[in-house]
């Protein structure tokens, strides 16, 4: 690809990523990214290079002699001390591991003792003075050659979505809408006023024959139905199209792909934590049904965070930090590439010590929940939950179909039979008035609210709404203020073929809860039996991470995933800005691809973590660093846990057809996954991962063969 195209891809990906969020972009973003993207489209993009600095090192014979003496002395000491210490350590570790592992895994226990996992030790953390800005290198000033074309940021924000559609057009012809026309008109006026080059924007106009791009809210499987008299048919009744769209199908949102960023331009990377797993299980359902998932259904961070990497929970602190890095080869033309893993592990809370919970279930009983026995799976989940209740816990139930209503007041274990009987009476019918159902659920939760309890609304739905306010933004207004008052919301998704990932993911995020997709009874057990405490009890709120890369060592970086969790750098210490919630025992893993300056060593990155106490809302901030001395020399020397995270990340990057996965081979990913499954014996998730990668590889080959045959026919 030409340099110009590379710059275009980078700028468009940054634009798609940051304009798609419902929060208003910053002025700095508006001025830099939109301008650069439009500038590239007009052919004015200028490539930028930076020469690596060469370092001449002279080593004398005397230096070698002293080094040899030191090495010999160290060898003698190690040969005496290490064996005795190793025996004590092995004996202690063996007793501890075997004590906690069933006899059938004795061989695995021995392997874990004799070959400890590398990279599993937590990094040292240092608590900072809360509220005090940490000194950082000032950002490079804008040069005279980087004149900004736009200053009217309000206009650009207003038309950001339309401009995105213009930039993402790929030859698909439809009629330009009012938003696109207004965006082009505004762009022309602004450019003319600033640079007097309105004529160059003709390529962004919309004459009748001009191509128009697909909307950022992509619709997949099935496509829009044929129109009928009176408009498009509603699949299950209703008065308006579902989710604010004129189709009734699967809804996903394209958040773009993070670009590489030069540290001389911006050495800070800031994001909110994410422990959601919905994207992985949704895509798993597609693959198991014999279909490749839509590109936009893949969120890399949710793939990576689905897996258990065996991080040890902290004993005293709320979080432990884990970091590791190694050389990485992925895709075409990778040079000087490193993969860095950063992870947080939250403190563990036993089931006995879990806070009592007041849970309000809001259950979708509309006609769409009758598909694939979705409501039947919801009932099984509720029955599982009832069996895990503590005496102090209470459950209330609201439902919504054509209308929302309360069906059961709050009851505990002393009324277990009544709860189960109410669950059995639920049946699917009618339209989908999600807004009313969620509002009723919150009203119930507010009346039953108890300080010191877990006050949680749990939405069980396919996310498809076709009565009242149906779009994600409108329904979000119902819960925005409720979360701040201590009533949180988690969303559980059910069903395929008629499903709204966009609404459910955003509800879980803005409701200060989480989002999970339940496709099988096994996934239900994972959530309601194996990890109920972590799913219910939050240990840290508004968790944000800021990674400060050292420009003297790191040339550029890209965050892999977390596109819809981006936080402006200057909002990291703004405690009113929303972050992510982390439950007891949960872990958060983030992957970065780095390019280092040749010959440079030292601190690579300093990670700052800021969060609020789940009860007192007191703010805590701490930091941890990683340097080049902690990097593994080759990828194969890294820990199995590091290799697993890399493998899952690569799989997701290929599935979503990331720009940075060009030339990457799924066969290579499959081979490594197969080797890892031998090392993670008994781990059903890793075994399943191998199967999913294999299925995806076969489906991709079939898809490619079909495209090749279609191309050969069209050439005749």
Strand ranges, E, within 534-685: 538-549, 554-560, 580-583, 587-596, 603-613, 619-627
Omega before residue 28 within 30° of 0, cis: no
Mean predicted confidence (pLDDT) in 342-356: 95
pTM of the model: 0.70
Pick the CATH number of 357-528 from 3.40.50.410, 3.40.50.2000, 3.40.1710.10, 3.40.50.620: 3.40.50.410
Residue 450 has pLDDT above 70, yes or no: yes
Quick: pLDDT tens for 549-589.
999 999 999 999 999 999 999 999 999 999 999 999 999 99
Q: H-helix or E-strand containing 253?
A: strand 250-253
Of 63-72, 155-164, 214-223, where does mean pLDDT reach its minimum?
214-223
Closest CA to 581 of 632, 544, 609, 615: 544
- Residue range 669-711, pLDDT digits in tens: 999 999 999 999 889 999 999 999 999 999 999 888 777 676 6
Query: Taking Cα atoms as reference points, which of 501, 498, 442, 503 lies closest to residue 471?
Result: 503
Decide if pLDDT at 21 tops 90: no
DSSP structural state of residue 571? G
186 vs 217: CA distance, rounded Å: 23
Mean pLDDT of 349-362: 94
Range scoring the smallest mean pLDDT among 10-19, 543-552, 580-589: 10-19
Residues of the chain with CATH 2.60.40.1230: 261-308+318-349+539-706
Q: Which of 374, 595, 382 is nearest to 498 (CA)?
A: 374
Q: Mean pLDDT over residues 296-310, rounded?
A: 96
Helix (H) / strand (E) element for 340: namely: strand 337-346
Are 341 and 642 spatial neighbours (Cβ–Cβ below 8 Å)? yes
More confident call, 698 vs 91:
698
Q: What are the residues whose beta carbons fall under 8 Å from the beta carbon of 324, sequence distance 6 or more?
A: 118, 119, 340, 341, 626, 630, 632, 638, 639, 642
According to the model, what pLDDT value does residue 630 have? Answer: 95
Q: What are phi and psi of 363, to 5 degrees?
A: -115, 130
Q: Where in the chain is the domain with CATH 3.40.50.410?
A: 357-528
Could you say which architecture CATH assigns to the domain 261-308+318-349+539-706? Sandwich (2.60)
pLDDT given for residue 207 in this prediction: 29
| Angle of the 160-167 helix axis to the 178-195 helix axis, nearest 10 | 90
Average pLDDT, the chain: 75
Report the residue count for the chain: 716
Which residues, including other chains, have CB under 8 Å from residue 698's CB and lie 6 or more apart? none
DSSP bridge partners of 337: 595
């Amino acid at each position: 690809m030409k340099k110009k195209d590379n710059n275009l891809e980078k700028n468009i990906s940054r634009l798609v990523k940051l304009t798609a969020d419902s929060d208003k972009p910053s002025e700095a973003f508006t001025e830099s990214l939109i301008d650069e993207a439009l500038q590239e489209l007009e052919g004015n993009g200028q490539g930028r290079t930076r020469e690596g600095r060469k370092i001449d090192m002279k080593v004398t014979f005397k230096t070698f002699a002293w080094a040899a003496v030191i090495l010999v002395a160290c060898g003698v000491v190690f040969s005496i001390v290490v064996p005795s210490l190793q025996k004590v350590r092995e004996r202690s570790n063996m007793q501890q591991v075997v004590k906690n592992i069933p006899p059938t895994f004795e061989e695995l226990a021995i392997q874990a003792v004799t070959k400890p996992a590398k990279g599993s030790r937590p990094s040292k953390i240092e608590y900072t003075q809360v509220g005090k800005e940490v000194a950082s290198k000032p950002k490079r000033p804008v040069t005279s050659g980087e004149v900004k074309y736009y200053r009217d940021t309000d206009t650009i924000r207003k038309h950001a979505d339309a401009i995105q559609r213009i930039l993402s057009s790929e030859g698909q012809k439809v009629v330009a809408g009012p938003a696109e026309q207004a965006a082009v008109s505004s762009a022309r006026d602004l450019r003319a006023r600033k640079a007097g080059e309105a004529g160059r924007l003709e390529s962004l106009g919309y004459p009748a024959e001009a191509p128009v791009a697909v909307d950022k809210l992509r619709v997949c499987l099935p496509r829009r139905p044929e129109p009928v008299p009176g408009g498009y048919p509603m699949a299950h009744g209703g008065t308006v199209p579902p989710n604010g769209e004129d189709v009734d199908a699967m809804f996903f949102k394209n958040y773009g792909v993070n670009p590489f960023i030069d540290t001389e331009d911006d050495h800070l990377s800031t994001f909110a934590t994410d422990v959601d797993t919905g994207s992985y299980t949704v895509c798993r359902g597609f693959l198991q049904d014999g279909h490749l998932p839509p590109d936009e259904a893949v969120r890399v961070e949710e793939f990576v965070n689905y897996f258990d990497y065996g991080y040890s929970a902290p004993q005293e602190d709320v979080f432990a930090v884990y970091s590791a890095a190694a050389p990485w080869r992925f895709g075409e033309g990778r040079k000087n590439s490193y993969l860095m893993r950063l992870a947080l592990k939250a403190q563990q809370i036993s089931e006995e010590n879990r806070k009592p919970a007041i849970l309000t279930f809001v259950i979708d009983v509309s006609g769409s929940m009758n598909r694939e026995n979705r409501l039947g799976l919801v009932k099984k989940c509720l029955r599982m939950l009832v069996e895990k209740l503590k005496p102090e816990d209470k459950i209330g139930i609201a439902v919504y179909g054509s209308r929302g209503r309360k069906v059961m007041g709050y009851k505990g274990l002393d009324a277990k039979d009544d709860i189960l009987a109410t669950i059995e009476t639920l049946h699917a019918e009618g339209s989908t008035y999600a807004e009313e159902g969620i509002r009723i659920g919150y009203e119930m939760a507010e009346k039953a609210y108890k300080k010191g309890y877990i006050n949680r609304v749990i939405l069980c739905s396919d996310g498809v709404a076709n009565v009242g306010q149906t779009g994600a933004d409108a329904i979000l207004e119902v819960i925005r203020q409720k979360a701040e008052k201590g009533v949180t919301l988690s969303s559980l998704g059910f069903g395929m073929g008629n499903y709204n990932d966009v609404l459910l993911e955003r509800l879980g995020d803005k409701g200060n809860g989480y989002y999970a997709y339940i496709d099988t009874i096994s996934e239900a057990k994972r959530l309601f039996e194996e990890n109920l405490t972590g799913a219910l009890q939050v240990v840290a709120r508004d968790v944000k991470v800021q990674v400060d890369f050292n420009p003297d060592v790191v040339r550029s970086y890209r965050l892999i995933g977390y596109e819809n969790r981006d936080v402006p750098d200057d909002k990291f210490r703004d405690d009113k800005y929303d972050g992510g919630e982390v439950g007891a025992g949960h872990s958060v893993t983030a992957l970065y691809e780095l390019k280092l300056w040749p010959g440079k060593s030292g601190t690579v990155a300093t990670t700052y973590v800021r969060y609020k106490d789940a009860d007192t809302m007191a703010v805590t901030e701490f930091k941890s660093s990683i340097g080049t001395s902690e990097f593994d020399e080759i990828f194969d020397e890294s820990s199995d846990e590091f290799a697993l995270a890399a493998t899952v990340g690569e799989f997701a990057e290929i599935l979503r057809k990331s720009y940075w996965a060009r030339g990457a081979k799924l066969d290579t990913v499959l081979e490594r996954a197969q080797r890892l499954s031998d090392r993670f014996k008994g781990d059903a998730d890793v075994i399943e991962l191998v199967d999913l990668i294999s299925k995806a590889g076969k489906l991709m080959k079939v898809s490619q063969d079909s495209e090749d045959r279609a191309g050969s026919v069209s050439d005749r």
